Amino acid sequence: MTTTISPGQTDRMSEFDALMWIVERNPMLRSTMTSVAIFDGQPDRKVVRERIDRMTRVIPRLRQRVRGNPFSIATPRWEIDPDFDLDYHLRWIGVGGDRTVRDVLDLTAPIVMQGFDRERPLWEADVVEGLADGTTALILKTHHSVVDGMGAMRMQMELFDFEPGIVDKGPMPDAPSEVVLGQAERSVDALAHELRAQREVFAAGRDFLKANLMHPLDTTRSVAEGVVSAGRLLKPIDAPLSPLLSERSLNLRLDTIELSLSELKAASKLAGGKLNDSFLAGLCLGLGEYHQRHGLPAEALRFGVPVNQRPKDGDDSTEGNHWAPVRFELAILDDPIEQMHEIQARMAATTAEPALAWLASISGAIRRLPKPMATAIVTASMRGTDVQASNVPGSPLPLYLAGVPMLAQFPFGPVTTSALNVTLLSYQDDLHIGVAMNDAAIDDPGQLVDDLRNGFRQVIGGKSRRTP
């Protein structure tokens, strides 16, 4: 059955996604997510193409492009690309050098750096064949407005199988179709969308007043706390905390780290925490060691971390973003347990910020400003971040592409204005970590990655640098 989205059923970016879309006029604010998956063999091209074609039919967002309206303040609309060409988005390529995973990462770096063609759907896939050890790599890149980290994992469930062999997924679904609006129709649709949005804002304000009218002092205090909280979240910061990782450019270097999921989880339990605590602690200890090595100790670093805001009511949507960006300073300590306790305290305070509930309203207010001003505000609020860090739960079961088993999948998140982005993805009992480094900030990336590995070893071993 063909899915049809009519002009009366608008599909639009959220306020937050729309803001991130607008501010990409600054290329350092591009929001792309890339993964490099390694398979133990060469999947059949015909089957891979069929699987990706099916994925774009089941998830219409992968066939949609973003259409703005200069005559409206409504958020951009997602519309089916009438000229969608699967072979533009899916390519088979080779790699030079020694044809190793290292060469694949070097090939991937410029792909990560490049912006998308804004006239087309915001994703691309490159299948790298002919690696020296017989493996194949799949480089999958999507814009953050298409899916967030959790959504990307659900999206991949359409692409991969849980069992070997060629799995029959049944008849190919029909391609989604949509009426492509003209300018006049787009303006009318945008006006209708804004009227609906304003009615929702009015209703929310009315309900808030009804609920709090009998407690004016508490209400005033709550609003004041929210305003102060928003100020903390958006406060412009001129420079990162690191005395070493201060320069920035548009060039990136990629590397990887592999760890044991069970070992890092066990380390978290020593501090009464979760996997994210030991993950961030490993980064802190490794970065502390790197700064010490260069004779410029870091007392604290500023981290940017996405906080999952997907509803807990069973909503399994793959599309759009369901996270809030938070930033906080972490003291760099020597002891893994103390470091995890520091992380727990900072995360608890930051995720309790009242303004996180206002994310859509704050984003909408900034988005409505002139584009240069909105870009400047977002840039200023992110400029002082040293490290972006994220962890995403992956499949606990083995995955297959066209019957070929996946060996590993390394995620690379947006570095934006930071010195590096470190993203963790679990797979069975393994943790695959992608490290994307700004090469102006880090001129010895191999040494940094070695120090990060040592930081994780310290966390897993429960030993600090000061331990004899």
- Active site amino acids: 144
**Residue closest to 293 by CA, chosen among 434, 159, 449, 425:** 449
Buried b (16+ CB within 10 A) or exposed e, 384-394: bbbbbbbbbeb
338: left (phi over 0), alpha (psi -120 to 50) or beta: alpha
Answer for the pair 175, 63: CB distance below 8 angstroms, yes or no. yes
The DSSP line for 284-297 is HHHHHHHHHHTT--
Give residues with Cβ within 8 angstroms of 341, minimum separation 6: 271
**What 8-state DSSP symbol labels residue 322?**
-
- The maximal CA–CA distance of the chain, rounded, in angstroms, is 74
Give the separation between CA 54 and CA 85, rounded to whole angstroms. Answer: 14
**What 8-state DSSP symbol labels residue 163?**
S
**Residue closest to 127 by CA, chosen among 41, 50, 40, 45:** 45
Element housing 259 (H / E): strand 252-260
